[in-house]
Amino acid sequence: MSALSKPRLERMERVLAGYVSRCEVPGMVAIVRCRGDEHVITLGALALDDPAPIERDAIFRIASLTKPITAVAAMILIEECRLRLDDPIDPWIPELARRRVLRSLAAEVDDTVPAQRAISVRDLLSYRMGFGSVMAPPGTYPIQRKIREYGIGGDGPPRPAHGPTTDEWLTRLGSLPLIAQPGERWMYNTSADILGILVERVAGMPFGRFLRERIFEPLGMKDTAFVIDADKLDRFATSYAWDHRTNALAVYDGVRDSAWAEAPFESGAGGLVGTADDYLAFCRMMLSKGEIGSGRILSRSAVEMMTSDQLTPVQRQGAEVFFGDSSSWGFGMAVDIRRDQLYRTPGRFGWDGGLGTTAYTDPQEEMIGILFTQRAMESPQPPPVFSDFWNLAYAAML
């Protein structure tokens, strides 16, 4: 018996097609999978100036959908006892030992107090290391100006080839104070980059190679990587952002001159490209509590811990633009804790990518939804195309 309503899926396709016909989104791949019943929608083109229709195997910059994958990589090492949740990261990342902390957010970068303790592995997984994106207009505080000057990230969309190498990035970060005490509160983005470096150093191999050998190859994620291969450029979608001066889409990142042609720093926060089907394989593994066929990527208990709320209400304060009143954070991904929308079910987990991607898994409904587009988000709040997709996905379940 079907788990999805065909008429309601047809309504989804009509609504999503409207975004393409209005030139609000160049193209998209949408997948809804519920209790084994799967529906795929492909709309639009790889580029506004390319009449060829987009296909299911189109490759997108998945941006922050990299974060859950990075968290899984760290949990693999924790399960192997090569890392421990509450151990300090200092032995592996001495560049971040003996931290200083800003006296206040508005303080100059040399106005600091000592950190009360070291950053732990748990702090990185739960994004409580004490450093990350500052939710204020650019340049409001001295620390923001340093983040922009040093190219640390978290203050705008990624451009991998234009950034520093891993070692230089870490040296720059290590020269700055933390913004909050370790463990004090949730801050976006930077923890995932540190987590990727930690995996690389503990595993003794490049981060991308670890992901390929331990996650991508076992799951058949053949198009997911930190760089786009030259022989895959014909499937690589052009990336766009809305230009408010012209009131139209403008190219953010092209294909032949893409910033994903190389990756001097393999960013665990937002560096991957991949297809919707690749990400579906990852989500199916998480829905199956780590199981793949006759083997496993992670144990059931590891997945359950990752996808449960790891923050207190106090630690979420200041992050309302990300969470509202209905979400919190597990390890490397958001977790819904209250229903305030049709599509928010307590226990639902996943995240959005700032360059136009969203993917969530609902264990209660045994449902996975994925929408990959080429239009960058304009704020941490989901754009209308995301909200419409999720409303329609839940409405389609029987």
pLDDT given at position 233: 97
Q: Under the phi-then-psi rule, with left for phi > 0, alpha for psi from -120 to 50, and beta for the rest, what region is 245?
A: alpha
User: Can you tell me the distance from the alpha carbon of 197 to that of 267, in angstroms, rounded to the nearest whole number?
Assistant: 8
10 Å CB burial of residue 8 (0-12, 13-18, 19+) is middle
pLDDT given at position 342: 81
- Show the DSSP H helices in the chain as ranges: 6-21, 66-79, 121-125, 142-150, 166-174, 190-203, 207-211, 217-219, 276-287, 300-306, 313-316, 320-323, 384-395
10 Å CB burial of residue 88 (0-12, 13-18, 19+) is middle
- Residue range 243-255: mean pLDDT, rounded: 95
Chain segment 323-338, per-residue pLDDT in tens:
988 999 999 999 999 9
Please report the domains of the chain, with CATH numbers, ordered by start residue.
6-70+207-395 (3.40.710.10), 83-203 (1.20.58)
Q: What tokens does 195 get?
A: 């987590």
User: Can you tell me the distance from the alpha carbon of 382 to that of 380, in angstroms, rounded to the nearest whole number?
Assistant: 6
pLDDT at residue 293 is higher than 90:
no
Measured torsion, CA atoms of residues 259, 260, 265, 270, in degrees rounded to the nearest 10: 100
pLDDT given at position 366: 97
pLDDT at residue 1 is higher than 80:
no
- Bridge partners (DSSP) of residue 367 are 34, 362
The chain-wide mean pLDDT, for the chain, equals 96
Q: Under the phi-then-psi rule, with left for phi > 0, alpha for psi from -120 to 50, and beta for the rest, what region is 28?
A: beta
Query: How many CB atoms neighbour CB 337 within 10 A?
Result: 19
The reply to whether the predicted model has a pTM over 0.95 is yes
What's 241's DSSP letter?
E
Closest CA to 258 of 279, 231, 227, 235: 227
- Residue range 135-164: mean pLDDT, rounded: 93
pLDDT at residue 124 is higher than 70:
yes
Chain segment 11-46, per-residue pLDDT in tens:
999 999 999 999 999 999 999 999 999 999 999 999
Greater confidence (51 vs 82) lies with 82
Q: Report CA 174 to chain centroid distance, whole Å.
A: 23
